[in-house]
């Protein structure tokens, strides 16, 4: 059965990083994998910048017209239809941030409706260290808005709480507490908790309720800026 994952979420929640991780994992398991860059909002730091990396792993990458070309008027390519028409094992949609970004995926809601039951995962990637996702109310609000704009029902949340290079297990705990409450109120389960191996292992060892952790997802970082790792202020 063709499996599809649609990653939506707040700006900067880590959708692209997770899209790459899911795609690499599938490709390494020998699955025929397609990855779609459906971010119609950002012009910098987007999935298509890692095009070479994905092609080397024999993942088919679909990008918006003019992505990474120095033009900001992106448009959806007809090639998106290949996700539905062709015979893939795994298809991953990396959608732009917030409700604005989620709008792009709404265009395909009829195609999604024709998928076999259980084939589609619509995942809300949450980083509670982002200012607009820092409270239960904010996550619920964003979730509602994104569902309306994407015309899709969110099937699960991903706790991907991080502070880039400054991440500690405290971040995952912060995300856990907020998503526990969001899950209780919305009925949407926590499908995954993601993080670098050492961080995630330390968090899992703390013995939190597995219901609000979902599947642990060890991730690598592929979207970091190769040239630096420092946080710098004047203090």
Partner 1 sequence: MALTLMKGSEAIAEAAIRAGARFFFGYPITPQTEIPEYMSARMPEIGGCFLQAESEVAAINMVYGAAGTGERVITSSSSPGVSLKQEGISYIASAKLPCVILNVMRGGPGLGSIQASQGDYFQATKGGGNGDYHLLTYAPASIQEAIDIMMFAFDKAEKYRVPVLFLADGIIAQMMEPVEMPEMVDFKVDPEKKPWAATGWKPGDDPAKRAVINSLYIETEALSVHNESLQATYREIEKNEVMWENYKTDDAEFVITAFGTVSRVVKSAVDELRAEGVKVGLFRPISVWPFPSDALRETAVRDQVKAVLDVEVNEGQMLERRDQAEDPRNEGGYVNVCRI
Interface contacts to partner 1, rule CB under 8 A: 11-12, 42-45, 70-72, 127, 129-131, 134, 162-166, 225, 227-235
In angstroms, rounded to a whole number, what is the distance separating the alpha carbons of residues 93 and 159? 18
8 A C-beta contact, residue 145 and residue 124: no
Q: How far is the CB of 99 from partner 1 (least distance, A)?
A: 13
Q: How far is the CB of 132 from partner 1 (least distance, A)?
A: 9
CA distances from 218 to 14, 48, 68, 204 (A): 14, 22, 29, 12
Q: How far is the CB of 229 from partner 1 (least distance, A)?
A: 8
Q: How far is the CB of 169 from partner 1 (least distance, A)?
A: 14
Q: Which residue has the tokens 């899709």?
A: 152
The secondary element (H helix, E strand) that includes residue 56 is helix 51-56
Which DSSP symbol is given to 29? T
Nearer to partner 1, 52 or 225 (CB): 225
Nearer to partner 1, 67 or 122 (CB): 67
Nearer to partner 1, 68 or 115 (CB): 68
Other residues' Cβ atoms within 10 Å of the Cβ of residue 100: 14
Nearer to partner 1, 124 or 127 (CB): 127
């Amino acid at each position: 059965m063709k499996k599809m994952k649609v990653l939506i979420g707040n700006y900067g929640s880590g959708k692209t990083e997770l899209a790459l991780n899911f795609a690499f994992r599938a490709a390494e398991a020998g699955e025929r994998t397609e990855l779609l860059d459906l971010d119609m909002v950002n012009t910098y730091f987007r999935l298509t910048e890692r095009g070479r990396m994905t092609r080397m792993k024999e993942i088919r990458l679909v990008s918006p017209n003019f992505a990474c070309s120095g033009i900001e008027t992106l448009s959806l390519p007809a090639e998106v239809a290949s996700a539905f028409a062709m015979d893939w094992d795994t298809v991953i949609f990396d959608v732009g941030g917030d409700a604005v970004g989620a709008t792009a995926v709404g265009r395909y809601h009829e195609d999604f409706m024709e998928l076999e039951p259980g084939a589609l995962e619509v995942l809300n990637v949450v980083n509670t260290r982002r200012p607009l996702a820092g409270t239960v109310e904010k996550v619920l609000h964003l979730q509602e808005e994104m569902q309306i704009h994407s015309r899709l029902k969110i099937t699960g949340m991903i706790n991907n709480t991080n502070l880039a290079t400054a991440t500690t297990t405290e971040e995952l705990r912060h995300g856990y507490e907020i998503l526990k409450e969001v899950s209780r109120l919305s009925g949407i389960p926590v499908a995954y908790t993601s993080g670098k191996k050492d961080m995630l292992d330390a968090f899992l060892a703390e013995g939190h309720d597995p219901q609000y952790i979902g599947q642990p997802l060890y991730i690598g970082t592929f979207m970091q800026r190769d040239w630096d790792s420092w946080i710098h202020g004047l203090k």
